[in-house]
């Protein structure tokens, strides 16, 4: 078989590990050929490809980003998008596609499968918000980066008796905030899953100062105050209808400074959370998912997404992964609340 591989949506550490595993097992064990499509769905849409053999995937395991490039192109928003993809796959002699992506990329994969394209999906996102899989690779790396930042911020916050508000990514799910905040010993963690009362947060902050410690407040970019609105970077929507989040950290720091009389500053971790080398956990998970994905393609098991359930790598229908967003259960948030303000 000649198999196309693409990576779509926001990049994340571990994408190259998947590509490497797919190609290494596909060539060595099964004798398949590969073609790399560039920049997500833009690649098959515009026929943009590059060679992808064992030579091209050597040495990429520890590299962040994706050697194939990525984009948020939505072929269903482009005239004759699906027909163009089918034509380009045929022109390049491609029998099947492995799409590595999150909610949006896999949503496109699901629809293309229903329209007759041979596709297998691999879940990725630092946000860890895809259904049907316990973890997505990239998440562990993002959490470790945020945890290290929080560790460093503790010492400088103590020296200056300041509140430090750390804004982390995660879109409409609070997984990164919850895990980084717990691992980093944050004083308060605020998630999109539960609107927060700014007076209560100010109370936690004051209590922490009374103990002679400076508070670190971790806020997810999608968190919202009670009776307030999500803070948006701007009103623009991407090709999948998503707004760009960001700014809640600055808003919150201003509120906390005004309410507590103590200086409050904001650190926005932004794309640092998506860059650089993957952790061992993410390298192993990405590799195992890649190995299962090429097995699924080899067996012609189309319309499936490979997933981690418990410690096993399994296959689930693609549609299951994108049916609903996997958000933080409130019981998980309650575990973190034990540490707030003390």
The answer to the question of residue 170 lying near ligand F6P (CB under 6 A) is yes
The answer to the question of residue 26 lying near ligand F6P (CB under 6 A) is no
What b-and-e string marks burial along 107-146, b requiring 16 or more CB atoms within 10 Å of the CB? bbbbbbbeeebbbbbbbbbbbbbbbbbebbbbbbbbbbbb
Residue 221 CB, shortest distance to ligand F6P, in Å, is 6
Q: Give the C-alpha distances (Å, rounded to integers) separating 56 from 20, 22, 51, 72, 162.
A: 9, 12, 8, 24, 49
Nearest CA-CA partner of 12 in 241, 243, 289 = 289
Residue 241 CB, shortest distance to ligand F6P, in Å, is 13
HSE-CB for 313 with a 13 A CA cutoff: 19
**Does the annotation flag 127 for ligand binding?**
yes
Q: Which of residues 92-111 bind ligand F6P (CB under 6 A)?
A: 102
Number of CB atoms found within 10 A of residue 304's CB: 22
**Does the annotation flag 171 for ligand binding?**
yes
Q: Say whether 198 sits in a helix, a strand or coil.
A: helix
Given the residues 11, 104, 127, 282, the one annotated as active site: 127
Tell me the C-alpha distance between 148 and 273, whole Å.
Answer: 11
| Contact map string, positions 183 to 222, toward ligand F6P, x by CB under 6 A | --------------------------------------x-
In this chain, which of 6, 70, 117, 127 binds ligand F6P, going by CB under 6 A? 127
The answer to the question of residue 73 lying near ligand F6P (CB under 6 A) is no
The answer to the question of residue 10 lying near ligand F6P (CB under 6 A) is yes
Bridge partners of 43?
Answer: none
User: Is the Cβ of residue 117 or residue 328 nearer to ligand F6P in the bound state?
Assistant: 328
- Catalytic, 197? Answer no
User: Is the Cβ of residue 167 or residue 257 nearer to ligand F6P in the bound state?
Assistant: 167
Q: Which residues are catalytic?
A: 127
Which stretches of the chain bind ligand F6P, using CB under 6 A? 10, 102, 125-127, 169-171, 221, 244-245, 274
């Amino acid at each position: 078989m000649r198999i196309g591989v693409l990576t779509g949506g926001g990049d994340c550490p571990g994408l190259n590990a998947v590509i490497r595993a797919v190609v290494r097992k596909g060539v060595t064990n099964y004798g398949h050929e590969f073609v790399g499509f560039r920049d997500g769905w833009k690649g098959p849409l515009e026929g943009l490809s590059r060679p992808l053999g064992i030579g091209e995937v050597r040495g990429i395991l520890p590299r962040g980003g994706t050697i194939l490039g990525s984009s948020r192109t939505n072929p269903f928003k482009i005239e004759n998008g699906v027909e163009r993809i089918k034509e380009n796959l045929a022109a390049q002699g491609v029998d099947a596609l492995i799409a590595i992506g999150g909610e949006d990329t896999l949503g496109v994969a699901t629809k293309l499968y229903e329209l007759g394209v041979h596709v297998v999906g691999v879940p990725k996102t630092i946000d860890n918000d895809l259904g049907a899989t316990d973890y997505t690779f990239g998440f562990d790396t993002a959490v470790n980066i945020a945890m290290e930042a929080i560790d460093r911020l503790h010492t400088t916050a103590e020296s200056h008796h300041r509140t430090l508000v750390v804004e982390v990514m995660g879109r409409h799910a609070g997984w990164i905030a919850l895990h980084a905040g717990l691992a980093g010993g944050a004083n308060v963690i605020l998630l999109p899953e539960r609107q927060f009362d700014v007076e209560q947060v100010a109370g936690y902050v004051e209590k922490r100062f009374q103990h002679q410690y400076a508070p670190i407040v971790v806020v997810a970019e999608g968190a919202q105050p009670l009776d307030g609105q999500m803070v948006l970077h701007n009103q623009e929507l991407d090709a999948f209808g998503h707004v760009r989040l960001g700014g809640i950290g600055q808003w919150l720091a201003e509120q906390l400074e005004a309410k507590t009389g103590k200086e409050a500053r904001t650190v926005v971790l932004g794309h640092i959370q998506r860059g650089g080398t993957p952790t061992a956990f993410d390298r192993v998970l990405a590799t195992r998912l890649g190995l299962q994905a090429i097995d699924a393609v080899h067996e012609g098991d189309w319309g499936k997404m490979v997933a981690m359930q418990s410690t096993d790598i399994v296959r689930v229908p693609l549609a299951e992964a994108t049916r609903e967003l996997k958000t933080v259960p409130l019981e998980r948030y309650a575990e973190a609340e034990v540490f707030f303000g003390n």
